[in-house]
Copies of this chain bind each other. A is one copy, B any other.
């Protein structure tokens, strides 16, 4: 009987591999480069080689390992079929079966945002909850929906694509990487917040401390809002409107106990939670107004820990 899991989070730049106990304790972590050449055909063998080295380093045999949980940046169905990962160059194939074949270990796979949500539920910002929705505000906007402690995958692995809610319609809506316009991701990702702010600064004459900063970042905007800058406050308010409204739609659909907000943008802290909660409550059905909001706490480890949880279930 195994005693430890491997939780693996495949990203577009690096692959994170964690050794995770049954209790969710991250006992070690490693990183390898994501080789996207030749449509990412080396990714799984690179992972298998690294896993072999890690087990050797830790004096573990394959019998000690419960299995591998894998987070993949794209839709994955319950059987482990990847339905195309644009970032990695992957088409359609069964990633769980494939990795299991070359490692000799049991493998379960899930979408990376869903897996991060599972990690936060298990060991992070939503510990002890079973009905959780996570929104990851980073370069893009990812989502993970957990119902009764299980990731909701949907009929073709596209549940939780919360970054692709159309939140802005009209000529001012920006094109999203997904091909649509006005997605939440174009408004609430780190890049989206910055773009919206630059657009606003060029449209109005209002003085702002932001005008003195070259290459404004999302962090600058929150920092200046905390200092009382009018434009920065308006932009944080606008961000809260989009996110609060989107969360009200999600809550009226699945009625979670709590939302967890993660990703780089969430480092802004309570100013972000407060503004999302305020606009959420304005738009939420009365029975949903007390839905919780908390910050993610696992940072970049959420994917590894959540992936391990996939295999423990």
B162 touches A255 (CB 8 A): no
Q: How far is the CB of A116 from chain B (nearest CB, A)?
A: 17
B254 touches A165 (CB 8 A): no
B249 touches A155 (CB 8 A): no
A254–B147 alpha-carbon span in the complex (Å): 10
In this assembly, does A161 line the interface, its C-beta being within 8 Å of a C-beta of chain B? yes
A283–B178 alpha-carbon span in the complex (Å): 11
In this assembly, does A156 line the interface, its C-beta being within 8 Å of a C-beta of chain B? yes
Q: How far is the CB of A128 from chain B (nearest CB, A)?
A: 13
In this assembly, does A248 line the interface, its C-beta being within 8 Å of a C-beta of chain B? yes
The CB with the most chain B CB atoms within 10 A, among A147, A179, A252, is that of: A252
A286–B176 alpha-carbon span in the complex (Å): 12
A166–B166 alpha-carbon span in the complex (Å): 14
A170–B287 alpha-carbon span in the complex (Å): 23
Closest to A74 in B: B287
A180 touches B256 (CB 8 A): no
B158 touches A252 (CB 8 A): yes
In this assembly, does A159 line the interface, its C-beta being within 8 Å of a C-beta of chain B? yes
The CB with the most chain B CB atoms within 10 A, among A83, A162, A178, A255, is that of: A255
B252 touches A165 (CB 8 A): yes
- CB-defined contacts of A131 to chain B, threshold 8 Å: 154-155
- CB-defined contacts of A250 to chain B, threshold 8 Å: 249, 253
Q: How far is the CB of A68 from chain B (nearest CB, A)?
A: 25
Closest 5 CB pairs of A and B: A154-B255, A159-B255, A158-B287, A164-B285, A166-B283
